[in-house]
Chains A and B, each alone.
Chain A
């Protein structure tokens, strides 16, 4: 049976600190949900609450329609992969994989069959008689996953499972987890602070901050339509640039910036403008922004320019970052001034930092091509796009 998970009004306090401040979340069967957020946002605590390792102060948890709020972990039928892997150091790989089944007093033959199956699924056959201390980091990680898989839970919990691996291995295992998800058709709840994992793995992303859900949605949609400045800056690397702009009639102005607004959009007099580094293009004329380059980083297939737009007061934090072509890295140098065209800009309220919508521009035209209003519902799929 495939389980769905439902969290209603989960609150949790640890010591004097309010870690979770009312979490509501509905997970459909077979969904891959990634909980993402900066450290201390409560994502791990939320995961542990679902696992039953923490008891919420308020709220209810249902797994597969069953209220498990006060059930101990062992009665929740879940599989969990820990950040530290938590392999039992005194047991061999085989015994680690079989541990849960042995606790259930399953038939030895059945256990052996299951262990073999899981081992072959993860390529662990040759390692079955080794102890965890004799394994490499990647192998340990696989065993940890295998241990969760072996008990065939309907709900998988992953607590930053890749954070102890090197970059290459991380990419490899990421793909493997995705494959496993497809194969096992299980519901998965995955905690990470790595946005690449979040973007690539998730069916739906849950962005958490300070114990509250900021936004839930499909990865691309959250990326394209962040519901507030926090989500916008958290997703995407390098992070979104923010500038404080004023509205003068139909124009947005700030030092070094001038953008023609489409008609009929209501905004406050002053607000925050967000531009992703990937959404700009270098132009010689019709530039929205002018930037003085400080540092330029060549990545091979592209390059990033760091510098100043206009004068300091308009910039909100850090240097302005723009993605340029790879050949630009060779041509440009420190002190050069370039013009940038923003293909897509995000508008945020200065006060509560909520999204006011985003505007797309066509590269060759001064006129904007599309305006999307802020999302009505957090979990609503698909933004309303209104052609101009």
Chain B
């Protein structure tokens, strides 16, 4: 009897998971089907399989060139990779010491600052991009990837700060203190003990920063003025305009854009599960 019950429970569990799996994968399969179909006509049907398998959309997206005949895809892939990686790096780099201070020190204005940081997440950016444009102009960073990185990195900063702070909070203070007793300065203790231990949490924070930079296009399109500086989502966006939409190209582009993030998710799934809640550091 108990064996039978376990079997039934197990089958039921798998059934439920499959139900959600279908829900989760169905739209993705549609995008894939669309990307590998020939032409632009989606068919009305239940199963997401490509009609007339073809790689033409991928070809068109990947081989696209600009007015001078330069190969755009490689260029924009490089821009995107550079921008997103630099954003993740800069964001985490700026956030780490500040998050450590928020976790370990008490100082005047700490609670207010934290509230304020949170508040920035609540304010819709309806009216922020023109002032941002002016700031970048002042810094002479318009039309540069570094300017874009700066904007992305700072806008991901508040969340990175919260995320890293909770990571550091899960690392016992005893560790820093042990290192300090062992002869380390505060900075050394931080660098040699806390940072290595916080690696999973840092990886997740970097992943989030990477992701938001990787997917953004409105600010990128506003701040960049040369096609060779454009990032991939801008390219993707050009396939989804009102009149000139090309869903096949869009789907192929969407897959190409999503793939790196999917791979990162796959590689970091362990850290993701641990890093979001506990900082992933249990003795």
Interfacial residues, chain A to chain B (CB-CB below 8 A): 48, 51-53, 72-74, 76, 78-80, 82-84, 86-90, 99-100, 103-104, 132-133, 147, 151, 157
Contacts and interface: CB of A to CB of B under 8 A. Distances in A.
Interface of B: 172, 174-175, 177-186, 188, 192-193, 196-197, 199, 281-283
A51 B188 contact: no
Contact of A86 (B177, B183, B186, B188): B177
Nearest to B195: A90
A52 to B, nearest CB: 8
B185 A74 contact: yes
Give the residue among B179, B182, B197, B283 with the most A Cβ atoms within 10 A.
Answer: B182
Q: Which 6 A-B pairs have the closest CB atoms?
A: A86-B174, A100-B182, A86-B178, A90-B196, A103-B183, A74-B183
Nearest to B174: A86
Contacts of A87: 178, 283
Contacts of B181: 51-53, 73-74, 76, 78-80, 157
A82 B177 contact: yes
A78 B199 CA distance: 29
B175 A53 contact: no
A99 B192 CA distance: 10
10 contacts: A52-B181, A53-B181, A74-B184, A82-B174, A83-B174, A100-B182, A100-B183, A103-B183, A147-B178, A151-B183
A58 to B, nearest CB: 20
Contacts of A99: 179, 182
Nearest to A135: B283
B182 A147 contact: yes
Given A89-B283, A90-B196, A84 B174 contact: yes
Contact of B175 (A48, A83, A86): A86
A84 to B, nearest CB: 5
Interface of B is mostly: helix
B189 to A, nearest CB: 9
B182 A74 contact: yes
A386 B117 CA distance: 73
Contacts of A132: 283
Nearest to B185: A74
Given A86-B172, A90-B196, 8 more contacts: A74-B185, A83-B174, A86-B175, A99-B179, A100-B182, A100-B183, A103-B192, A147-B178
Point out which of A80, A84, A87, A88 has the most chain B C-beta atoms below 10 A from its C-beta: A88
B178 A74 contact: no
Nearest to B188: A103
Given A86-B172, A89-B281, A89-B283, A53 B180 contact: yes
Contact of B178 (A72, A82, A90): A82
Given A84-B174, A103-B188, A90 B182 contact: no
Given A99-B182, A104-B183, A151-B182, A88 B175 contact: yes
B188 A88 contact: no
A287 B177 CA distance: 57
A73 B180 contact: yes
A84 B176 CA distance: 12
Contact of B197 (A52, A88, A103): A88
A303 to B, nearest CB: 41
